[in-house]
Amino acid sequence: MIRQVVLDVEGITISGQLYLPGDKAPYPTVCVCHGIPAGTPEQNESGYPLLAERICHQGFAVLFFNFRGTGASSGNLDILGWTRDLEAAIDYLWTLPEVAKSHLSLLGFSGGAAVSVYVTARDARISCVATCACPAEFTFVTEVDEPQAVVDHFRRIGTIRDKNFPRSVAKWLNGFRLVRPIEYVSGIAPRPLLLVHGNQDETIDISHAHRLYDSAGEPKQMIIIDGAGHQLRQNTRAISSVIDWLKSQCRD
């Protein structure tokens, strides 16, 4: 069963799909958080829906939604706004009788993983979090010479859509400094944390995973996928490891 989901967050439409196994509700539930687009998405790109279906087939309810500025959702890319989008998604899931409140997990990829760590540390409703290619911090914020060039890049690929956004480039960039997983990862404990990273990640160096692991409390686990790059949702070994771990967290 697939249910279309539309949320209103600060007047922004957040669109998603809820995948339900179809029997024996309530279900352990996973909210999937995608990363920051690197380029203009392909029209028929089906990676995340296929991932949601795969997890659903293992007995989970799965919510996949597009953060503001991406996909069918409205608005503009804004990392602090993404944290509020995720909170709204959790609020929505919390109202559903199909959702087992004791097993509400987050699965985040890259920028979505950073948002997942930030939100989990501040929201006790989350039972555990799995991250794939999570940055310890957004290094491009400190490395950029021309802040406007960052905005121009996201405007070109269609994640910043409004001419008058952002009103302050400096404030918008500062959001990426605030959503800094290395500062929040310790706040996840005593809830379980999984860090999955490829040792050939061309976007976020594997050192980020080691920094996060060292800063996290127990219980925690780190899985390094040999030969894998940044796109872990397309890596069979990575996703199999994530699903096995999520299933292990649902054994009462």
Which CATH number belongs to the domain containing residue 180 in this structure? 3.40.50.1820
In order of 97, 136, 175, the CA distances from 140 in angstroms are 41, 12, 12
Q: How many domains does the chain have?
A: 1
Q: Could you list the residue range(s) of the whole structural domain that residue 209 is in?
A: 2-248
Supply the pLDDT for residue 140. 81
Gyration radius of the chain over CA positions: 17
Q: Which two tokens stand for residue 171?
A: 């404030």
CA pair distance 210, 207, nearest whole angstrom: 5
Please tell me the distance from the alpha carbon of residue 115 to that of residue 134, in angstroms, as a whole number. 9
Question: Tokens representing 234?
Answer: 């397309």
pLDDT value at position 44?
Answer: 44
Q: Where are the alpha helices (DSSP H) in 25-110?
A: 47-56, 79-94
Report the SS3 class of residue 10. Answer: coil
Report pLDDT for 46: 58
| Pairwise CA distance, residues 104 & 189, whole Å | 15
Please give the model's pTM, rounded to 2 decimal places: 0.95
Tokens standing for residue 157: 């690929």
27-33/99-109 β-pairing: parallel
pLDDT in tens, the chain (252 residues): 999 999 999 999 999 999 999 878 899 999 999 999 887 654 445 589 999 999 999 999 999 999 999 999 999 999 999 999 999 999 999 999 999 999 999 999 999 999 999 999 999 999 999 999 999 999 887 777 788 889 999 999 999 999 999 999 999 999 999 999 999 999 999 999 999 999 999 999 999 999 999 999 999 999 999 999 999 998 999 999 999 999 999 876
- Residue 244 is given by DSSP the state H
Is there a contact between 64 and 5 (Cβ–Cβ < 8 Å)? no
